Structure 1
Amino acid sequence: MAMAERIEAVLRSGKAPNLHGLVVMRGGNVVLERYGAGVDHRVGESLGHVAFGRDTLHDVRSVSKSVVALLYGIALGEGLVPEPGAGLMGQFPEYTDLVADPARAHLTIEHALTMTLGLDWNEDAPYTSPANSEIAMELAPDRYRYVLERPVVEAAGKRWLYCGGATALIGGIIARGAGRPLEEYAAGALFRPLGIGDFQWSKGDDGLAMAAAGLRLRPIDLAAVGRLLLDGGQGIVPGEWIREMLRPRVVIADGFEYGYQWYVSTGERRWVEAIGNGGQRLLVVPDEELVVAITAGEYDQEPASSMAVLDAVLDR
């Protein structure tokens, strides 16, 4: 059965009731697009029932983290940010007490890129609760201090622990190095060169872009970000950074590892992926020149719709 037929079978069966958007590219060309309808949310705000189409922006939630890693690579190539091995605390010199803490002196930017900071952090609670560390960070008067002052619970670099705060720090380093807000740098350095003119980046109460989860893109533009990886950065992101960013660096589970803010499969079928709450996915299979961008509305739920569609696309 062809991929389009498999997708139609899933949609007819009702196995993907919360699918909002699907774009599949093969060899750089769009080979399939599907859009649905349903209740949607912007981070912290209900949007009601939405009929989605090619031009509808959608939250990509934690796929934002992977885009931030691309931005870091661009800024690194422009000499705006330090190398990943540079000390982390020194990027935030205003927190003199934390900079002087010997227990944090070994932290590097790379520990943030790989989510191996060794700090106390918990995102297991719903993303509507202040018990969730990312939500607590958004409620804090100073997001960067909130992250950096978390108790040290283990040596950095030893264990992967999902941490939106790590991405917030990277976003802050980029904005400071560029001398302008993260979303403005993203527009000029990445989105406009990719031909993406319409995007939004939700902000916290402090007016700063929510680096970890606030990006809103059209699915077709999300797919363009995936194609960027296949094309070695397209002269927008340094090719060397693409290779370094996608290199497996820390084990999450057997055959499933983490690079710099991207998930990496090390199994028989190699792929890289950005994943966001609610069923947001950007999957790239380099050997097959395949890009799959999915948006969905299963926030704080098991992403059954996106998984059913992804299984159909990959015929697994």
Structure 2
Amino acid sequence: MYRFAFVVVLVTAISVETLQAQSVSLPRSTPESQGVSSADICEYIEAADREVNSMHSFMLVRHGHVVAEAWWAPESADKPHVLWSLSKSFTSTAVGLAVADGKLSIDDRVLEFFPDDAPAEPSANLKAMRVRDLLTMSTGHQDEVDWLEAEHWAKAFLTHPVPHKPGTHFRYNTPATYMLSAIVQKVTGETVLAYLKSRLFQPLGIEDPRWDESRQGISIGGYGLFLHTEDIAKFGQLYLQKGKWNGKQLLPESWVDQATSRQVSNGSDPSKDWDQGYGFQFWRCRHDAYRGDGKDGQFCIVLPELDAVVAITANSGDMQAELNVVWDKLLPAFGDEPLAENPDEQAKLNAITAKLKASR
């Protein structure tokens, strides 16, 4: 099977503020001007192409500039991609905005929002469940509710047993994210998709986002969002900039700090990126990074210490291996200062990516 990739590395370095004000696209720059080695980027792309089955796209942003981007055919820059559970980080953002708007508190009880959908005799643990517990995947469930065949997803969630005290037991829980979406819709009168359009998508220049809905007309929240690779990169850049975009605070800095910090423990293996702690629908990573991620290898990786964002889409059977290539091959590419321009390596990078064909 043949796969193709195309990377564009542009050489014009223009201020982030100027271009973001004029264009919906992030500014482009050479890797070296932003302190990144073209040769190391090339090594990363070759390793990802060889070791990840299979890559769809990659974008690297440093100091607010796109320094490398790649799409493996038939994917392309103008083709929306399914985000799977990377959608959860966008739902969390909607909750943060609703909190900032005074619509709710993360310490509100979940049952308060669903008086007509609650079981006749809710358990003490269900009564104790808060919005915070939905955000941190610590609702108290032992097993995820089998909800997809249910006629009413919120009712199915609320009737599911809650054997653990909420806040004490991490259990990855996509229906919990759906409940966050439903709560945002309850308090704003808009779907999460509609609510985010004017507050997030339009300011970031994200055009035509699509989000699948439940039978009740609620954005699924936990998955179902379709965006372009650059949209993922913009989202990561917004978080890297502590919620600020073009000089405007779109999202409170306090929310960014809360959402991306370790709120609950989810394991203890230092070699696994799924054991580094969980925030508000964001995962902590090794290397002091954090990420939103989705099934099959959809990643928005934010590296605050390096002032960088990595956006990846894929159809991978091993997401940890996909991250390992980033850590092993891409991290060494970063320097503290701009590097001397290296036209030969930049040309090599363009040539290698333009003709990239690999078979397995």
Same fold (TM over 0.5): yes
Higher gyration radius (CA): 2
The structure that is strand-richer by fraction is 1
Give the Cα–Cα distance (whole angstroms) in 2 for the partners of residues 244 and 278 of structure 1: 27
**Match for 2:307 among 289, 292, 311?**
289
Q: 2:278 aligned with 1:258, yes or no?
A: yes
How far is 1:83 from its partner? 1.1
3-state secondary structure, aligned to 1:203: coil
3-state secondary structure, aligned to 1:193: coil
How far is 1:99 from its partner? 7.0
Match of 1:238? 252
How far is 1:59 from its partner? 0.6
Q: 2:213 aligned with 1:203, yes or no?
A: yes
Task: String of CA shifts for 1:156-201, please: whole Å, max 9, x gaps.
Answer: 1112100001101111111111101221112122111111113211
1:138, 1:205 within 8 Å by CA — same for their partners in 2?
no
2:54, 2:315 within 8 Å by CA — same for their partners in 1?
yes
Give the residue type in structure 2 aligned to 1:252: N
How far is 1:103 from its partner? 3.7
- TM-score where L is the length of structure 1: 0.84
Closer/same/farther in 2, CA of residues 193 and 99 from structure 1, 3 Å limit: farther
Match of 2:97? 74
Alignment of 1:82-161 (within 5 A): 82-97=104-119, 100-122=122-144, 133=145, 136-161=146-171
2:99, 2:106 within 8 Å by CA — same for their partners in 1?
no
How far is 1:147 from its partner? 1.1
**Match for 1:53 among 76, 82, 87?**
76
Give the Cα–Cα distance (whole angstroms) in 1 for the partners of residues 226 and 332 of structure 2: 28
Match of 2:337? none
Give the Cα–Cα distance (whole angstroms) in 1 for the partners of residues 300 and 236 of structure 2: 7
Greater mean alpha carbon deviation, residues 98-107 or residues 251-260: 98-107
3-state secondary structure, aligned to 1:76: helix
2:118, 2:155 within 8 Å by CA — same for their partners in 1?
no
How far is 1:119 from its partner? 1.7
Give the Cα–Cα distance (whole angstroms) in 2 for the partners of residues 220 and 276 of structure 1: 16
How far is 1:303 from its partner? 3.1
Aligned-residue CA RMSD (Å) = 2.0
Match of 1:220? 230
1:58, 1:218 within 8 Å by CA — same for their partners in 2?
yes
Closer/same/farther in 2, CA of residues 220 and 106 from structure 1, 3 Å limit: same
Match of 1:16? 52
Count of matched residue pairs: 285
Give the residue type in structure 2 aligned to 1:262: F
Closer/same/farther in 2, CA of residues 102 and 8 from structure 1, 3 Å limit: closer
1:278, 1:296 within 8 Å by CA — same for their partners in 2?
yes
3-state secondary structure, aligned to 2:169: coil
How far is 1:310 from its partner? 2.2
Alignment of 1:161-176 (within 5 A): 161-176=171-186
Sequence identity percentage: 25
- TM-score where L is the length of structure 2: 0.74
Give the Cα–Cα distance (whole angstroms) in 2 for the partners of residues 176 and 60 of structure 1: 24
How far is 1:217 from its partner? 0.7
Match of 2:67? 31
Task: String of CA shifts for 1:200-231, please: whole Å, max 9, x gaps.
Answer: 11223443321101111101110000000111
1:23, 1:294 within 8 Å by CA — same for their partners in 2?
yes
2:137, 2:172 within 8 Å by CA — same for their partners in 1?
yes
